[in-house]
Chains A and B, each alone.
Chain A
Protein backbone atom coordinates (compact mmCIF):
# COMPACT_ATOMS: atom_id res chain seq x y z
CA UNK A 1 0.00 0.00 0.00
CA UNK A 2 1.14 3.56 -0.67
CA UNK A 3 1.40 5.36 2.64
CA UNK A 4 0.45 9.01 2.53
CA UNK A 5 -0.15 11.79 4.98
CA UNK A 6 -2.16 14.98 4.61
CA UNK A 7 -0.21 18.16 4.12
CA UNK A 8 -0.59 20.61 6.94
CA UNK A 9 -3.48 22.99 6.66
CA UNK A 10 -1.37 26.15 6.45
CA UNK A 11 0.48 24.74 3.47
CA UNK A 12 -2.84 23.84 1.84
CA UNK A 13 -4.22 27.27 2.49
CA UNK A 14 -1.21 28.85 0.82
CA UNK A 15 -1.60 26.54 -2.19
CA UNK A 16 -5.28 27.47 -2.47
CA UNK A 17 -4.71 31.20 -2.25
CA UNK A 18 -6.93 33.08 -4.66
CA UNK A 19 -9.03 29.97 -5.43
CA UNK A 20 -12.40 30.14 -3.73
CA UNK A 21 -14.30 27.36 -5.50
CA UNK A 22 -12.78 23.93 -5.00
CA UNK A 23 -13.66 20.43 -6.23
CA UNK A 24 -12.45 17.65 -3.93
CA UNK A 25 -11.08 14.28 -4.99
CA UNK A 26 -10.33 11.37 -2.68
CA UNK A 27 -9.18 7.80 -3.25
CA UNK A 28 -11.00 4.71 -2.00
CA UNK A 29 -7.83 2.61 -1.88
CA UNK A 30 -4.60 3.45 -0.04
CA UNK A 31 -5.51 7.02 0.96
CA UNK A 32 -8.68 5.72 2.58
CA UNK A 33 -6.77 3.09 4.51
CA UNK A 34 -4.20 5.69 5.59
CA UNK A 35 -7.00 8.05 6.63
CA UNK A 36 -5.48 10.71 4.43
CA UNK A 37 -8.06 10.82 1.62
CA UNK A 38 -11.16 8.65 2.12
CA UNK A 39 -14.84 9.67 2.34
CA UNK A 40 -14.37 10.83 5.89
CA UNK A 41 -11.33 12.98 5.19
CA UNK A 42 -12.94 14.48 2.10
CA UNK A 43 -15.92 15.43 4.23
CA UNK A 44 -13.71 16.92 6.97
CA UNK A 45 -11.78 18.90 4.43
CA UNK A 46 -15.03 20.20 2.94
CA UNK A 47 -16.09 21.41 6.39
CA UNK A 48 -12.76 23.06 6.98
CA UNK A 49 -12.75 24.75 3.56
CA UNK A 50 -16.21 26.12 4.34
CA UNK A 51 -14.77 27.62 7.50
CA UNK A 52 -12.04 29.27 5.43
CA UNK A 53 -14.64 30.98 3.25
CA UNK A 54 -14.19 28.59 0.33
CA UNK A 55 -16.99 26.89 -1.58
CA UNK A 56 -16.78 23.21 -2.42
CA UNK A 57 -18.50 22.67 -5.76
CA UNK A 58 -18.56 18.90 -5.41
CA UNK A 59 -16.50 15.85 -4.58
CA UNK A 60 -15.73 12.34 -5.68
CA UNK A 61 -13.86 9.44 -4.12
CA UNK A 62 -12.32 7.47 -6.97
CA UNK A 63 -12.07 3.71 -6.51
CA UNK A 64 -8.34 3.66 -7.18
CA UNK A 65 -7.09 7.09 -8.15
CA UNK A 66 -3.92 5.57 -9.58
CA UNK A 67 -6.05 3.88 -12.24
CA UNK A 68 -5.77 6.41 -15.03
CA UNK A 69 -8.86 5.43 -17.03
CA UNK A 70 -11.04 5.04 -13.96
CA UNK A 71 -9.98 8.42 -12.64
CA UNK A 72 -10.75 10.03 -16.01
CA UNK A 73 -14.18 8.36 -16.15
CA UNK A 74 -15.13 9.33 -12.59
CA UNK A 75 -14.07 12.91 -13.17
CA UNK A 76 -16.13 13.10 -16.41
CA UNK A 77 -19.22 12.24 -14.37
CA UNK A 78 -18.63 15.38 -12.34
CA UNK A 79 -17.91 17.56 -15.35
CA UNK A 80 -20.23 20.41 -14.37
CA UNK A 81 -18.98 20.67 -10.79
CA UNK A 82 -15.38 20.64 -11.97
CA UNK A 83 -16.08 23.33 -14.56
CA UNK A 84 -17.51 25.45 -11.78
CA UNK A 85 -14.38 25.03 -9.63
CA UNK A 86 -11.15 27.01 -9.86
CA UNK A 87 -9.06 24.11 -8.61
CA UNK A 88 -9.22 20.40 -7.83
CA UNK A 89 -7.84 19.46 -4.45
CA UNK A 90 -6.74 15.82 -4.52
CA UNK A 91 -6.34 13.64 -1.45
CA UNK A 92 -4.52 10.72 -3.04
CA UNK A 93 -0.94 9.59 -3.41
CA UNK A 94 1.35 11.15 -6.01
CA UNK A 95 0.22 8.56 -8.52
CA UNK A 96 -3.44 9.41 -7.91
CA UNK A 97 -2.77 13.14 -8.12
CA UNK A 98 -1.18 12.61 -11.52
CA UNK A 99 -4.07 10.49 -12.82
CA UNK A 100 -6.23 13.49 -11.97
CA UNK A 101 -3.89 16.15 -13.32
CA UNK A 102 -3.65 14.14 -16.53
CA UNK A 103 -7.42 14.14 -16.92
CA UNK A 104 -8.20 17.82 -16.56
CA UNK A 105 -6.92 21.19 -17.67
CA UNK A 106 -7.97 22.66 -14.35
CA UNK A 107 -5.44 23.53 -11.67
CA UNK A 108 -4.76 20.44 -9.56
CA UNK A 109 -3.47 20.77 -6.01
CA UNK A 110 -2.23 17.75 -4.10
CA UNK A 111 -3.39 17.62 -0.50
CA UNK A 112 -1.17 14.81 0.73
CA UNK A 113 2.49 13.81 0.74
CA UNK A 114 3.21 10.27 -0.41
CA UNK A 115 5.69 8.63 1.88
CA UNK A 116 6.51 5.09 0.83
CA UNK A 117 5.30 1.66 -0.18
CA UNK A 118 4.22 0.43 3.19
CA UNK A 119 3.48 -2.76 4.98
CA UNK A 120 0.69 -2.40 7.51
CA UNK A 121 1.39 -3.42 11.09
CA UNK A 122 -1.95 -2.05 12.21
CA UNK A 123 -3.85 0.98 11.02
CA UNK A 124 -1.75 4.04 11.56
CA UNK A 125 1.39 1.97 12.00
CA UNK A 126 3.26 1.23 8.81
CA UNK A 127 6.64 -0.22 7.95
CA UNK A 128 8.68 0.40 4.85
CA UNK A 129 10.14 -2.84 3.61
CA UNK A 130 10.41 -2.45 -0.17
CA UNK A 131 11.84 0.43 -2.21
CA UNK A 132 10.62 -0.82 -5.59
CA UNK A 133 14.19 -0.75 -6.88
CA UNK A 134 13.64 -3.17 -9.75
CA UNK A 135 16.50 -5.51 -8.87
CA UNK A 136 15.36 -7.79 -6.09
CA UNK A 137 17.85 -9.82 -4.07
CA UNK A 138 15.40 -10.95 -1.37
CA UNK A 139 15.98 -14.60 -2.33
CA UNK A 140 19.57 -14.31 -1.19
CA UNK A 141 18.93 -12.20 1.89
CA UNK A 142 16.47 -14.47 3.66
CA UNK A 143 13.59 -12.23 2.65
CA UNK A 144 14.93 -9.06 4.30
CA UNK A 145 15.63 -6.18 1.92
CA UNK A 146 18.94 -4.38 2.60
CA UNK A 147 18.21 -1.76 -0.05
CA UNK A 148 15.31 -0.58 2.11
CA UNK A 149 16.12 -1.71 5.62
CA UNK A 150 19.79 -0.75 5.76
CA UNK A 151 20.04 3.02 6.27
CA UNK A 152 22.78 3.11 3.67
CA UNK A 153 21.28 0.50 1.35
CA UNK A 154 24.54 -1.46 1.45
CA UNK A 155 24.65 -4.71 -0.50
CA UNK A 156 27.69 -6.52 0.89
CA UNK A 157 27.23 -6.55 4.63
CA UNK A 158 27.01 -4.09 7.50
CA UNK A 159 28.86 -0.79 7.75
CA UNK A 160 31.27 0.04 10.55
CA UNK A 161 28.45 1.75 12.40
CA UNK A 162 26.76 -1.51 13.37
CA UNK A 163 26.92 -1.86 17.14
CA UNK A 164 25.41 -4.61 19.26
CA UNK A 165 23.18 -5.44 16.34
CA UNK A 166 21.84 -1.90 16.14
CA UNK A 167 21.84 0.52 13.21
CA UNK A 168 24.21 3.49 13.19
CA UNK A 169 21.53 5.80 11.83
CA UNK A 170 18.87 4.74 14.32
CA UNK A 171 19.87 2.99 17.51
CA UNK A 172 16.24 1.90 18.00
CA UNK A 173 16.39 -0.18 14.83
CA UNK A 174 18.07 -3.49 14.34
CA UNK A 175 20.88 -3.59 11.79
CA UNK A 176 19.31 -5.14 8.70
CA UNK A 177 22.53 -7.02 8.03
CA UNK A 178 22.48 -8.63 11.46
CA UNK A 179 18.89 -9.71 10.80
CA UNK A 180 19.86 -11.12 7.41
CA UNK A 181 22.87 -12.88 8.89
CA UNK A 182 20.89 -14.43 11.72
CA UNK A 183 17.99 -15.58 9.57
CA UNK A 184 20.33 -17.12 6.98
CA UNK A 185 22.16 -18.89 9.78
CA UNK A 186 18.88 -20.30 11.11
CA UNK A 187 18.13 -21.56 7.62
CA UNK A 188 21.59 -23.06 7.28
CA UNK A 189 22.22 -21.01 4.13
CA UNK A 190 25.04 -18.75 3.04
CA UNK A 191 22.78 -16.70 0.82
CA UNK A 192 24.16 -13.32 -0.17
CA UNK A 193 27.34 -13.94 1.83
CA UNK A 194 28.42 -16.45 -0.81
CA UNK A 195 29.18 -13.71 -3.32
CA UNK A 196 30.18 -10.09 -3.68
CA UNK A 197 27.13 -8.25 -4.93
CA UNK A 198 27.93 -6.03 -7.90
CA UNK A 199 27.06 -2.33 -7.96
CA UNK A 200 23.33 -1.86 -8.20
CA UNK A 201 21.77 -1.32 -11.60
CA UNK A 202 19.61 1.69 -10.86
CA UNK A 203 18.56 1.73 -14.52
CA UNK A 204 16.30 -1.22 -13.77
CA UNK A 205 14.07 1.15 -11.84
CA UNK A 206 13.41 2.60 -15.27
CA UNK A 207 12.78 6.27 -14.59
CA UNK A 208 10.81 8.00 -15.95
CA UNK A 209 8.63 4.94 -15.85
CA UNK A 210 6.19 3.55 -18.32
CA UNK A 211 5.98 -0.20 -17.95
CA UNK A 212 4.32 -2.87 -20.02
CA UNK A 213 4.70 -6.18 -18.26
CA UNK A 214 4.36 -9.20 -20.49
Chain B
Protein backbone atom coordinates (compact mmCIF):
# COMPACT_ATOMS: atom_id res chain seq x y z
CA UNK B 1 0.00 0.00 0.00
CA UNK B 2 1.35 3.45 -0.88
CA UNK B 3 2.41 5.86 1.84
CA UNK B 4 -0.13 8.31 0.49
CA UNK B 5 -2.91 5.75 0.92
CA UNK B 6 -1.72 4.86 4.42
CA UNK B 7 -1.65 8.49 5.53
CA UNK B 8 -5.06 9.20 4.00
CA UNK B 9 -6.48 6.13 5.73
CA UNK B 10 -4.92 7.18 9.02
CA UNK B 11 -6.44 10.65 8.73
CA UNK B 12 -3.02 12.33 8.82
CA UNK B 13 -2.55 15.75 7.24
CA UNK B 14 -1.08 14.86 3.84
CA UNK B 15 1.29 16.99 1.78
CA UNK B 16 1.86 16.46 -1.93
CA UNK B 17 3.80 18.57 -4.41
CA UNK B 18 4.46 18.32 -8.10
CA UNK B 19 7.13 18.27 -10.77
CA UNK B 20 6.88 18.50 -14.54
CA UNK B 21 8.79 16.06 -16.74
CA UNK B 22 11.53 17.67 -18.83
CA UNK B 23 11.17 18.90 -22.38
CA UNK B 24 13.93 16.55 -23.37
CA UNK B 25 15.25 13.12 -22.68
CA UNK B 26 17.42 13.79 -19.61
CA UNK B 27 15.45 13.30 -16.37
CA UNK B 28 18.29 14.17 -14.00
CA UNK B 29 17.24 17.74 -13.24
CA UNK B 30 13.61 16.75 -12.52
CA UNK B 31 14.79 13.89 -10.32
CA UNK B 32 17.16 16.20 -8.42
CA UNK B 33 14.34 18.66 -7.88
CA UNK B 34 12.16 15.86 -6.53
CA UNK B 35 14.96 14.89 -4.12
CA UNK B 36 15.03 18.46 -2.81
CA UNK B 37 11.40 18.27 -1.64
CA UNK B 38 11.08 17.88 2.10
CA UNK B 39 8.03 17.08 4.18
CA UNK B 40 6.20 15.78 1.12
CA UNK B 41 4.50 12.38 1.04
CA UNK B 42 4.09 11.99 -2.69
CA UNK B 43 5.04 13.91 -5.80
CA UNK B 44 2.66 14.48 -8.68
CA UNK B 45 4.15 14.06 -12.12
CA UNK B 46 2.24 16.19 -14.59
CA UNK B 47 1.01 14.80 -17.91
CA UNK B 48 1.83 17.11 -20.83
CA UNK B 49 0.59 19.96 -18.65
CA UNK B 50 -1.15 22.72 -20.55
CA UNK B 51 -1.02 20.36 -23.55
CA UNK B 52 2.71 21.02 -23.92
CA UNK B 53 4.58 17.94 -25.04
CA UNK B 54 7.12 16.68 -22.51
CA UNK B 55 8.62 13.41 -21.39
CA UNK B 56 6.13 10.67 -20.54
CA UNK B 57 5.00 11.10 -16.92
CA UNK B 58 4.88 7.32 -16.63
CA UNK B 59 8.61 7.14 -17.33
CA UNK B 60 9.45 9.89 -14.85
CA UNK B 61 7.14 8.41 -12.21
CA UNK B 62 8.91 5.06 -12.56
CA UNK B 63 12.27 6.82 -12.18
CA UNK B 64 10.99 8.45 -8.98
CA UNK B 65 10.06 5.02 -7.67
CA UNK B 66 13.59 3.88 -8.52
CA UNK B 67 15.10 6.69 -6.43
CA UNK B 68 12.87 5.78 -3.51
CA UNK B 69 10.27 8.51 -3.82
CA UNK B 70 6.58 8.08 -4.21
CA UNK B 71 4.95 9.51 -7.34
CA UNK B 72 1.35 10.42 -8.10
CA UNK B 73 1.04 9.68 -11.80
CA UNK B 74 -1.21 12.19 -13.53
CA UNK B 75 -3.13 10.71 -16.40
CA UNK B 76 -5.18 12.84 -18.79
CA UNK B 77 -7.96 11.76 -21.12
CA UNK B 78 -6.69 14.18 -23.74
CA UNK B 79 -3.85 12.13 -25.13
CA UNK B 80 -4.89 8.49 -25.19
CA UNK B 81 -7.84 6.30 -26.04
CA UNK B 82 -9.17 3.62 -23.71
CA UNK B 83 -6.71 0.99 -24.91
CA UNK B 84 -3.66 3.19 -24.36
CA UNK B 85 -4.92 4.45 -20.98
CA UNK B 86 -5.57 0.98 -19.59
CA UNK B 87 -2.33 -0.29 -21.05
CA UNK B 88 -0.39 2.55 -19.39
CA UNK B 89 -2.18 1.84 -16.11
CA UNK B 90 -1.09 -1.78 -16.14
CA UNK B 91 2.42 -0.65 -17.02
CA UNK B 92 2.39 1.85 -14.17
CA UNK B 93 1.44 -0.86 -11.71
CA UNK B 94 4.22 -3.09 -13.01
CA UNK B 95 6.72 -0.25 -12.50
CA UNK B 96 5.65 0.25 -8.89
CA UNK B 97 3.54 3.37 -9.44
CA UNK B 98 0.60 3.15 -7.06
CA UNK B 99 -0.87 6.64 -6.87
CA UNK B 100 -2.87 8.17 -9.70
CA UNK B 101 -4.51 11.47 -10.42
CA UNK B 102 -7.14 11.22 -13.14
CA UNK B 103 -7.80 14.35 -15.20
CA UNK B 104 -9.65 15.38 -18.35
CA UNK B 105 -6.64 17.40 -19.45
CA UNK B 106 -6.33 20.85 -21.00
CA UNK B 107 -7.47 21.07 -24.59
CA UNK B 108 -4.68 20.60 -27.14
CA UNK B 109 -5.52 24.03 -28.54
CA UNK B 110 -3.56 25.70 -25.70
CA UNK B 111 -0.36 23.80 -25.97
CA UNK B 112 2.65 23.61 -28.20
CA UNK B 113 0.93 21.21 -30.61
CA UNK B 114 -2.35 23.04 -31.25
CA UNK B 115 -2.97 21.06 -34.43
CA UNK B 116 -3.06 17.74 -32.56
CA UNK B 117 -6.24 15.72 -32.32
CA UNK B 118 -7.46 15.77 -28.73
CA UNK B 119 -8.63 12.26 -27.94
CA UNK B 120 -11.08 12.34 -24.99
CA UNK B 121 -12.23 8.81 -25.80
CA UNK B 122 -13.10 8.65 -22.09
CA UNK B 123 -13.91 11.47 -19.72
CA UNK B 124 -12.43 11.69 -16.23
CA UNK B 125 -15.42 9.97 -14.60
CA UNK B 126 -15.25 7.09 -17.06
CA UNK B 127 -11.48 6.78 -16.61
CA UNK B 128 -11.98 6.59 -12.84
CA UNK B 129 -14.43 3.76 -13.46
CA UNK B 130 -11.91 2.09 -15.73
CA UNK B 131 -9.25 2.28 -13.00
CA UNK B 132 -11.64 0.79 -10.49
CA UNK B 133 -12.52 -1.96 -12.97
CA UNK B 134 -8.84 -2.81 -13.46
CA UNK B 135 -8.27 -3.05 -9.72
CA UNK B 136 -11.20 -5.50 -9.62
CA UNK B 137 -9.53 -7.53 -12.35
CA UNK B 138 -11.58 -6.47 -15.32
CA UNK B 139 -10.90 -4.20 -18.28
CA UNK B 140 -13.42 -1.88 -19.94
CA UNK B 141 -14.39 -4.60 -22.41
CA UNK B 142 -15.30 -6.86 -19.49
CA UNK B 143 -12.32 -9.14 -19.99
CA UNK B 144 -10.45 -10.58 -17.06
CA UNK B 145 -6.91 -9.57 -16.18
CA UNK B 146 -4.35 -12.20 -15.23
CA UNK B 147 -3.28 -10.09 -12.26
CA UNK B 148 -5.15 -7.00 -11.13
CA UNK B 149 -3.19 -3.82 -10.32
CA UNK B 150 -3.54 -1.92 -7.05
CA UNK B 151 -3.96 1.83 -7.09
CA UNK B 152 -4.60 4.74 -4.81
CA UNK B 153 -6.61 6.77 -7.28
CA UNK B 154 -7.51 10.43 -7.00
CA UNK B 155 -9.18 13.12 -9.06
CA UNK B 156 -9.26 16.89 -9.35
CA UNK B 157 -11.86 19.47 -8.46
CA UNK B 158 -12.17 23.27 -8.79
CA UNK B 159 -13.90 24.25 -5.53
CA UNK B 160 -14.62 27.83 -6.58
CA UNK B 161 -16.03 27.04 -10.03
CA UNK B 162 -19.49 28.35 -10.88
CA UNK B 163 -22.25 27.25 -11.15
CA UNK B 164 -21.46 25.54 -7.88
CA UNK B 165 -24.13 22.81 -8.21
CA UNK B 166 -22.90 21.86 -11.67
CA UNK B 167 -19.28 21.60 -10.49
CA UNK B 168 -20.43 19.67 -7.45
CA UNK B 169 -22.46 17.07 -9.35
CA UNK B 170 -19.32 16.20 -11.33
CA UNK B 171 -17.37 15.98 -8.09
CA UNK B 172 -20.03 13.62 -6.70
CA UNK B 173 -19.87 11.50 -9.85
CA UNK B 174 -16.11 11.21 -9.41
CA UNK B 175 -16.58 10.08 -5.83
CA UNK B 176 -19.10 7.51 -6.97
CA UNK B 177 -16.75 6.38 -9.74
CA UNK B 178 -14.13 5.53 -7.14
CA UNK B 179 -11.98 8.63 -6.57
CA UNK B 180 -10.25 7.94 -3.26
CA UNK B 181 -8.93 11.46 -2.75
CA UNK B 182 -9.06 14.87 -4.43
CA UNK B 183 -6.45 17.46 -5.16
CA UNK B 184 -8.04 20.83 -5.80
CA UNK B 185 -7.27 23.59 -8.22
CA UNK B 186 -5.52 26.45 -6.41
CA UNK B 187 -7.91 28.29 -4.10
CA UNK B 188 -7.22 31.70 -2.53
CA UNK B 189 -10.67 32.42 -1.25
CA UNK B 190 -11.46 30.92 2.20
CA UNK B 191 -15.26 31.43 1.98
CA UNK B 192 -15.35 29.51 -1.34
CA UNK B 193 -13.33 26.74 0.25
CA UNK B 194 -15.59 26.61 3.30
CA UNK B 195 -18.68 26.40 1.10
CA UNK B 196 -17.18 23.58 -0.93
CA UNK B 197 -15.94 21.62 2.09
CA UNK B 198 -19.31 21.93 3.80
CA UNK B 199 -20.90 20.21 0.80
CA UNK B 200 -18.05 17.76 0.23
CA UNK B 201 -17.52 16.60 3.81
CA UNK B 202 -20.58 14.29 3.94
CA UNK B 203 -19.17 12.37 0.97
CA UNK B 204 -16.24 11.35 3.15
CA UNK B 205 -13.43 11.62 0.61
CA UNK B 206 -10.16 13.31 1.61
CA UNK B 207 -9.54 16.67 -0.08
CA UNK B 208 -6.02 18.08 -0.48
CA UNK B 209 -6.21 21.82 -1.00
CA UNK B 210 -4.28 23.14 -3.99
CA UNK B 211 -1.88 25.79 -2.69
CA UNK B 212 -0.08 27.78 -5.33
CA UNK B 213 2.92 29.96 -4.59
CA UNK B 214 2.19 33.25 -6.33
CA UNK B 215 5.45 35.09 -6.88
CA UNK B 216 4.22 38.50 -7.93
CA UNK B 217 1.18 40.65 -8.64
CA UNK B 218 1.89 40.13 -12.33
CA UNK B 219 1.66 36.40 -11.95
CA UNK B 220 -1.59 36.78 -9.97
CA UNK B 221 -3.10 38.81 -12.79
CA UNK B 222 -1.91 36.27 -15.33
CA UNK B 223 -3.59 33.49 -13.35
CA UNK B 224 -6.81 35.48 -13.15
CA UNK B 225 -6.83 36.07 -16.88
CA UNK B 226 -5.56 32.80 -18.25
CA UNK B 227 -5.95 29.91 -15.84
CA UNK B 228 -9.48 28.54 -15.68
CA UNK B 229 -10.81 28.05 -12.17
CA UNK B 230 -8.05 30.08 -10.48
CA UNK B 231 -8.97 33.47 -9.05
CA UNK B 232 -6.61 35.50 -6.88
CA UNK B 233 -8.80 38.02 -5.02
CA UNK B 234 -7.93 41.69 -5.58
CA UNK B 235 -6.81 42.37 -1.96
CA UNK B 236 -4.19 39.63 -2.33
CA UNK B 237 -3.05 41.06 -5.66
CA UNK B 238 -2.61 44.41 -3.89
CA UNK B 239 -0.68 42.78 -1.06
CA UNK B 240 1.69 41.31 -3.62
CA UNK B 241 1.94 44.62 -5.43
CA UNK B 242 2.88 46.57 -2.33
CA UNK B 243 5.17 43.99 -0.76
CA UNK B 244 8.86 44.80 -0.44
CA UNK B 245 9.59 41.20 -1.37
CA UNK B 246 6.66 39.79 -3.39
CA UNK B 247 7.96 36.23 -3.13
CA UNK B 248 7.99 36.47 0.69
CA UNK B 249 4.45 37.79 0.50
CA UNK B 250 3.47 34.88 -1.78
CA UNK B 251 4.92 32.48 0.78
CA UNK B 252 2.89 34.19 3.49
CA UNK B 253 -0.29 33.88 1.42
CA UNK B 254 0.46 30.21 0.79
CA UNK B 255 0.99 29.72 4.53
CA UNK B 256 -2.37 31.27 5.23
CA UNK B 257 -4.00 28.83 2.82
CA UNK B 258 -2.16 25.90 4.39
CA UNK B 259 -3.56 27.06 7.75
CA UNK B 260 -7.05 27.09 6.20
CA UNK B 261 -6.45 23.58 4.90
CA UNK B 262 -5.37 22.38 8.35
CA UNK B 263 -8.76 23.30 9.72
CA UNK B 264 -10.94 22.36 6.73
CA UNK B 265 -9.19 19.78 4.55
CA UNK B 266 -7.21 16.56 4.85
CA UNK B 267 -4.03 17.89 3.33
CA UNK B 268 -2.46 20.22 0.80
CA UNK B 269 -1.12 19.90 -2.71
CA UNK B 270 1.71 22.41 -3.14
CA UNK B 271 2.52 24.05 -6.45
CA UNK B 272 5.70 25.99 -5.82
CA UNK B 273 6.80 26.50 -9.45
CA UNK B 274 10.56 26.44 -9.05
CA UNK B 275 10.72 27.59 -5.43
CA UNK B 276 10.72 24.19 -3.78
CA UNK B 277 13.18 25.50 -1.19
CA UNK B 278 10.31 27.49 0.35
CA UNK B 279 8.20 24.38 1.06
CA UNK B 280 9.30 23.98 4.72
CA UNK B 281 8.42 27.63 5.34
CA UNK B 282 5.02 27.23 3.65
CA UNK B 283 4.29 24.20 5.80
CA UNK B 284 5.63 25.69 9.01
CA UNK B 285 2.83 25.90 11.54
CA UNK B 286 2.21 29.25 13.14
CA UNK B 287 0.22 30.27 16.15
Contacts and interface: CB of A to CB of B under 8 A. Distances in A.
A26 to B, nearest CB: 31
Interface in B150-203: 156-158, 161-163, 165-167, 169-170, 173, 176-177, 185
A186 to B, nearest CB: 13
A157 B120 contact: no
B169 A157 contact: yes
Interface stretch (A31-39, A55-63, A84-92, A195-203): A195-203
A159 B125 CA distance: 10
B109 A164 contact: no
Contacts of B130: 199
A124 interface: no
Output the residue of A151, A154, A169, A197 with the most chain B CB within 10 A: A154
A199 B228 contact: no
Contact of A199 (B140, B166, B176): B140
A152 B120 contact: yes
Contacts of B122: 199
A160 B166 CA distance: 11
B166 A158 contact: yes
Dominant secondary structure at the A interface: loop
Interface in A122-161: 151-161
Given A155-B126, A156-B125, A163-B161, A168 B166 contact: no
B135 interface: no
A161 B124 CA distance: 13
B126 A160 contact: no
A117 interface: no
A118 interface: no
B52 interface: no
B170 A157 contact: yes
B166 A181 contact: yes
A193 B228 CA distance: 23
A178 B164 CA distance: 11
A23 interface: no
Contact of B109 (A153, A159, A169, A178): A169
A181 B78 CA distance: 23
Nearest to A193: B169
Contacts, number: 92
Contacts of A95: none
A181 to B, nearest CB: 5
Contacts of A178: 163, 166
A162 B161 contact: yes
B49 interface: no
Give the size range of A's interface with the partner. Answer: 20 to 34
A182 B157 CA distance: 21
A172 to B, nearest CB: 13
Give the size range of B's interface with the partner. Answer: 35 or more
B18 interface: no
Contacts of B104: 152, 154, 159-161
B167 A158 contact: yes
Given A181-B163, A196-B129, A199-B126, A163 B228 contact: yes
Contacts of B166: 157-158, 162, 177-178, 181
Contact of A155 (B78, B123, B158): B123
Nearest to A198: B126
A202 B177 CA distance: 21
B91 interface: no
B118 interface: yes
B163 A161 contact: no
Contact of B121 (A162, A169, A197, A202): A202
Nearest to B78: A152
Nearest to B170: A157
Contacts of A177: 166
A160 B229 contact: yes
Contacts of A157: 125, 166, 169-170, 173
B228 A196 contact: no
Contacts of A197: 125-126
B53 to A, nearest CB: 18
B82 interface: yes
Output the residue of B118, B125, B177 with the most chain A CB within 10 A: B125
18 contacts: A151-B107, A151-B118, A155-B125, A155-B126, A156-B124, A156-B170, A158-B167, A159-B123, A162-B166, A163-B228, A178-B166, A181-B165, A181-B166, A193-B169, A196-B177, A199-B82, A200-B121, A202-B121
Can you list the 6 inter-chain pairs with the closest CB atoms, starting with the nearest?
A157-B170, A156-B125, A161-B228, A159-B104, A169-B107, A154-B123
Given A161-B107, A161-B228, A163-B161, 6 more contacts: A156-B126, A158-B166, A162-B228, A163-B228, A182-B163, A196-B129
